[in-house]
Amino acid sequence: MGELRLMKGNEALAEAAIRAGVDGYFGYPITPQSEVIEYLMSEKPHERTGMVVLQAESEVASINMLYGGGGTGKKVMTSSSSPGISLMQEGLSYLAGAEIPCVVANVVRGGPGLGDIQPAQSDYFQSVKGGGHGDYRLFVIAPASVQEMSDFVPLAFDVAFKYRIPSLIVSDGLIGQMMEKVELFDPIPRLTDEEVIARYPWATNGKPKGKERRILTSLDLDPHKMERHNWALQEKYKLIEENETRFELIGCDDAEYIIVAYGSSSRIAQKSIQLARKKGIKVGLLRLITLWPFPKKPIEEFVKNGIKGFLTVEMSAGQMIEDVKLVVEGRAKVEHFGRYGGVIHSPEEVLEALEQKLIGG
């Protein structure tokens, strides 16, 4: 059993970064995630593990520091909240293009624009549909608890390095700010410079003696070469879809209706399911753990088995519903419910929506 602590989600993320053997964190304060860099600064990780923590001049600088640091084969990470993540989209596109591993955490708040500082899930499109320019994907994973704010950090790094892809941890102001019990994982030692050099031959950390130099770029002025580069990226994304899709099924065995949710909404939906079951409504929860790759298979299974309908629950105007509909292809009813702009729905509101939109409707 690992060390138990009562922590905020943001603090758990920061502690996990130190324990995951992260070499560099580059960040910029923004509510509701400023505790990440505050915790890191107060923990003196340069003394604990030798980890570098730097407050950058902007999110634009932070994400480009990830490009530089990640490009040398080091484990690098940043975190921010919605408006700051918007500023990072250029950098994410370059990171994806140059195939540089890194981890970015978005503690989502209400939008659009400056929005507010309350929890929201309205960055789904930005997270999984690109956000920046070009044909690229991020590995997008959504914690639903403070525990997972910790657990998903090493996981996000594993995937990032395995496939040379940026990973995005998408939580929200609720998970970032709430306190829960966390079982911390045992520290993973940082790699030595020699280990980094040996393990990542693509990394630019000084041309090895007697070998070719390495170049990290997202540019190729020859369109045919650029198309081939894109084909290689798409092959990689296909592999990630096959191997890295994650989801959880709760109470789905006898379910006639399915709620599809992730993050905070999936926690709320668990209560809604209990309330529904008390009323005799057979509803289960498909909790998305990865947002990209999107868990298509369980949805396909539900449709094949004659499910009566899906209710997507998201603190947005209805973004994730589009991906559910793409799998369902009109074969079952798909409805959306969610409060947004920083408002959190209650379990009762979700149940009411289920009854009105799917059962009564």
**Contacting positions for other proteins (CB under 8 A):** 23-24, 26, 52, 54, 56-58, 60-62, 64-69, 71-72, 74, 76, 90-91, 94, 98, 193, 204-209, 213-219
Report in angstroms how near the CB of residue 214 gets to other proteins at its nearest. 5
Distance CA(121)–CA(54), nearest Å, equals 28
Element (H, E) at 60: helix 59-70
In contact, 36 and 212? CB cutoff 8 Å? no
Q: Considering beta carbons, is residue 95 or 315 the nearer one to other proteins?
A: 95
Secondary structure (H, E, C), 187-212: CCCCCCHHHHHHHCCCCCCCCCCCCC
Q: Is 354 helix (H, G, I), strand (E, B) or coil?
A: helix
Of 354, 329, 357, 168, the closest CA to residue 263 belongs to 168
The smaller minimum CB distance to other proteins, of residues 98 and 359, is found at 98
Question: Minimal CA–CA distance to 203: which of 295, 120, 102, 114?
Answer: 102
Strand partners of residue 290? 141
**What span, in angstroms and rounded, lies between the C-alpha atoms of 280 and 249?**
19
Residue number, 47 or 186, with CB nearest to other proteins:
47
Q: Are 112 and 231 contacting, i.e. CB atoms less than 8 angstroms apart?
A: no
Could you tell me the sign of the dihedral formed by the alpha carbons of 152, 156, 157, 159, in that order?
positive
Nearest distance from residue 137's CB to other proteins, in Å?
Answer: 19
Shortest approach of other proteins to residue 56 CB, angstroms? 7
Amino acid 167 reads S
CB of 31 to other proteins, least distance (A): 21
Q: DSSP state, 345?
A: P
- Give least dist CB 171 to other proteins, A: 24
Of the candidates 283, 290, 264, the residue with the CA atom closest to the CA atom of residue 359 = 283
For other proteins, the closer of residues 218 and 230 by Cβ is 218
Least spacing, CB of residue 48 vs other proteins, in Å: 16
Cβ proximity to other proteins, 212 vs 329, nearer residue: 212
Query: Nearer Cβ to other proteins, position 88 or 255?
Result: 88
Minimum gap (Å) between residue 216 Cβ and other proteins: 5
Q: Rounded to the nearest whole angstrom, what is the least distance from the CB of residue 102 to other proteins in the complex?
A: 10
Give the DSSP letter string of 95-148. HHHHT--EEEEEEEB--STT--SSB--TTHHHHHS-SSSSS---EEE---SHHH
Nearer to other proteins by C-beta: 147 or 205? 205
Smallest gap from residue 286 Cβ to other proteins (A): 38
Q: Which is nearer to other proteins, 208 or 361 (CB)?
A: 208
Instruction: Report the alpha-carbon distance of residue 355 to residue 361 in Å, rounded.
Output: 8
Minimum CB distance to other proteins smaller for 219 or for 232 = 219
